[in-house]
Structure 1
Amino acid sequence: MRQRLECSTMNKRKTFTTAGVLVTAAALVLGTAGCSGGAAAGGPNENRPENEVHVLVYGDAAASAEQAAADRFNETSDVKVVIDTGAASGSDYTTAVRTALGTDNAPDVFMSWGAADIQQAVDSGAVLSLNDFIQEDPALKSSFLPSVFDEETIDGESYGIPMRGVAPTFLFTNEKVLADNGLEAATTWDELLDQTKVLEDAGVTPIALGGADKWPTQMWYQYAFARQLGNDEVAKGLAGDADVWSSDGSKAALDDISTLTGDQAFGSAFDSVGYSNNGTTALLSQGKAAYELMGTWNYATLKAAAPDFVASDLGWTAFPTISGGDGQAGEIAGNLSNYYNVAADTRYPDTVRDFLKELYSDDFLKDQIALGNLPPTTNANELVQADTSIDAANKEYLSFVFDLVENAPTFQLSWDQTVPTASKTRLTDAVADYANGSIDADQWISDMQSLTAAAQA
């Protein structure tokens, strides 16, 4: 992947430029209810399980690559890596880690979403600096794209190793449903709205939305606001600029959301449909919906649940343009990557260091690619093109993701990974409540101004 990085840090905000892609993240702090500042100073915790390193993985289909990595590692290691499956909801997963850190039952290795996600845990001494690991094995850093790796470098200390793919969000489509109704994937907002009526008349839910989980609903706001205001303005709002949320562009984006819900583009009961329980997966793969807005990880989820659908009828397309907005063409939103972090009091740091080497191994990267994830490594593109085991559809999908990221003028980190931790629930509540009509635009604007104000503190 041909990418170039420039990085600057200022007032807890990070800006990364990657082949013309701007990624802006305001501070989001992962609290550490169970941890204490003495974790790092105290060294290894001998009360942790003997001859075991526990890795808490995210509870989705992509975790199969991490299990395979552990199985390979355990073939030659006396200390065994044990894979523990966590929640498939980001907030639930983060809460479990936050509660466990500093206790004997805490995972030795856990996943995070960026520097802001671990800042408080780092400040309290609950997360191990990986600088010594990197000094002993420089490939733990040099194997990864600097734009991705440097996200979890804080005050010169590296705390995370990238372990999943670059994850922009875009529309997944059921090509058969579209074709059966004389349609092609919408490229403009007006086309999407026109298709809504056609699909409803055919008895198809136009867009599958896991409203019960709330964070999928947020994705629609991220793109409506990117198109109407532009990601640079959105980043200012998330950093505490109240005027962004009350601007004409903001109100236009809210009108776009309201139009979709008013037209029942998501169906009449989207608040009761889940993503984490494969509800939207079933709707899209079984031909009951035509579209789903989701991140790159959805390919692995769909492939695990409905491989025949992925092989024959799955499509994908960039989010439609919206006429008259101030956003730049091609702006995207989503997640930069996920990272493995290490508890400061892990009992077997040398074993952890050696296991982390799996994250840049060809076997692990090929497993990620096979799942539809685009690894954030310097050799990812070469591996994709050279791997004869990757089917044509998967290569086409990964090429689409490459192009989407490389051609994007800006890349906004997901809102719930950008606002302060204390505001995350309020944010997802606000986006859900406006979408289902529980609050009006004025209340939504007020809520956003209030919950993002903490970012300036």
Structure 2
Amino acid sequence: MKKLLTTCLIAGGLLTGSALAEETVKVLSINRDVEPWKQLYLDVVAEYNKANPGVNVEVEFMEDEAFKQKLPTLLQSDAAPDLFFSWSGGVFYEQADQGFLRPIPDDIAAEWKKDLSAGGMAALSYNGKFYGAPEASQNVAIWYNKDNAKKAGVDPTKIKTWDDFLGQVKTAKEAGVTPIIVGGQDKWPLHFYYSLLAMRIMGEDGLRASAAGENGGFDNEDWVRAGKEYMRLIELEPFQEGFMGVKYDAATGLWGDGGAVFTLMGDWDLGAQRAASSNGGLSNEQLGVVPFPMVEGGKGKASDTLGGASGFVLTRNAPDAAIDFLKVFMGPDAQKRAAAEGVYIPTAPSAGGLVKDSILKQFAAIGGASTYHQLFLDQFFGSTLGGAINDVSAQMATGDITPEEAAKLLEETRQFQ
């Protein structure tokens, strides 16, 4: 691996030899069991530790849902990490408002923007301050298994509308092939359907109006229709048996084992399904990707995307060494390796053209053509309202709530959060 060099911050007076001496930098990441991704992290850490005697960077990996549940408590304790993964959005804003984060000095942030994605940096900024460095951009799309699509007698490349998709789901079901794999227990994989339907129906302006409490907020005909379109899918019983008892990691393993025709998931699933499957997962030749379809009469565009703008942010008591490491951890050299090895779609401009993997190229093309990129709604709207979106997505999937009740509950949550 090309040697990663630390940023030269001494001239700015931030880092001194004494400040770096005997420092421990603790990093908390979401699960990176995808071997190239985890190995990339470990290699960057090892290279940094070797190049910086007296600094010991330690990285811990935590399953996504456990991470979300434990992080708020960790941030209030002496066990808080110095750096942690962030999806940006409303949850990140809450953490900044609550004083849990350390801002990066303005002069250093200005230097970082020369090498890192300006848009990615902006996603990790709040009220004029930068708190982290961007890593990857993510987009959610419909994956399909070519072998299973052939068995089911469907052609996913012809999916242009929601009705097209529902028709192929129904055909697969009738052919005895499981249409869709989903990790319902974690709820957020289900919220992708509800979120994307809402985006296609109301468009960017409609979502922003809901966030501002305009047009009834969430309790309006567009959100009700999104729920009703979602229920059209649920009524086909499209998911694998016992889907509400399956977490994402297990679900992506089932997908990698060839368990269905479709899954709605982000680009990270390419490696995740291979790591979680029992037989090495699906090859690029077995996989295809299509954008989420349009809904008849909707105000959104087929090129509007849902996804993430993720990276790592600093906690309030992070040592200066953590700032130095963060630039290396998320820096151009690490992102170039990620691009070349098909680990993720990087945000650093110098790394973007190095993506070689055929599937990641398709996701990069979807992102490159995006007319409006919406952050995952469960992150964008913050922990309370975002959590409610996940909840109602699951409750509608189990028949415990109607689309009308879901819209009303979301608006009540928005008003009282």
Normalised-by-shorter TM-score class: 0.7 to 0.9
Change (3 A) 1:119 1:332: closer
| Structure 1 gap segments, 5+ residues each | 1-48, 385-389
Matched, 1:67 2:42: yes
TM-score norm. by structure 2 comes to 0.86
What is the Cα-based RMSD across aligned positions, in Å? 2.4
Question: For the residues of structure 2 that align with 1:286 and 1:264, how far apart are their CA atoms?
Answer: 21
2:301 corresponds to which letter in structure 1? Q
Could you tell me how far apart the structure 1 residues matched to 2:45 and 2:227 are? 45
Q: Label 1:416 to 1:355 Cα distance change in 2 as closer, same or farther (>3 A).
A: closer
In the TM superposition, 1:57-456 aligns within 5 A as: 57-60=29-32, 61=34, 62-78=37-53, 79-89=55-65, 92-114=66-88, 116-131=90-105, 134=108, 139-163=111-135, 165-185=136-156, 186-241=159-214, 243-275=216-248, 278-306=249-277, 307=280, 309-335=282-308, 337-346=309-318, 348-350=319-321, 352-367=323-338, 370-384=341-355, 390=356, 394=357, 396-454=358-416
C-alpha distance in 1, partners of 2:126/2:218? 30
Amino acid at match of 2:42: Q
* Distance in 2, Cα, partners of 1:350 & 1:254: 48
* 3-state SS of 1:191 partner: helix
* Separation of aligned partners in 1, 2:315 and 2:28: 11
2:185 and 2:247 in contact (8 A); partners too: yes
| Higher share of residues assigned helix | 2
Q: Which moved more, 1:138-147 or 1:303-312?
A: 303-312
Task: Look up the SS of the partner of 1:84 in the other structure.
Answer: strand
Aligned counterparts of 1:440 and 1:311: Cα–Cα separation in 2: 39
Give 2:68's aligned amino acid: T
> Which residue is equivalent to 1:38?
none
Give the aligned residue type for 1:240: G
**How many residues were matched structurally?**
389
**Paired letter, 2:74:** A
C-alpha deviation, 1:147, in angstroms: 1.7
Partner of 2:7: none
Which position in structure 2 is the counterpart of 1:33? none
Structure 2 runs not aligned, ≥5 long: 1-20
Q: Offset of 1:217 from its aligned partner?
A: 0.5
- Provide the rounded CA distance (Å) in 2 between the counterparts of 1:416 and 1:242: 21
1:401 and 1:260 mapped to 2: Cα distance?
Answer: 24
Deviation by residue 1:3-42 (Cα, 9 ceiling, x = unmatched):
xxxxxxxxxxxxxxxxxxxxxxxxxxxxxxxxxxxxxxxx
Query: Quick check: 199-208 or 420-429, which moved more?
Result: 420-429
Give CA-to-partner distance per residue, 1:344-378, whole Å, 9 cap, x none: 223x4135414532321324432255344111111
Matching residue's letter, 1:127: L
AA at the equivalent of 2:225: A
Structure 1 residues 177 and 51, CA, compared in 2 at 3 Å: closer, same or farther?
Answer: same
Q: Is the 8 A contact 1:332 1:411 kept in 2?
A: yes
What amino acid does structure 1 have at the position aligned with 2:321?
D
TM-score normalised to the size of structure 1?
Answer: 0.79
Amino acid at match of 2:165: L
CA distance in 2: counterparts of 1:123 and 1:197, whole angstroms? 47
Alpha-carbon distance between aligned partners in 2 of 1:115 and 1:260, rounded to the nearest angstrom: 28
Distance 1:117 1:72 in 2: 32
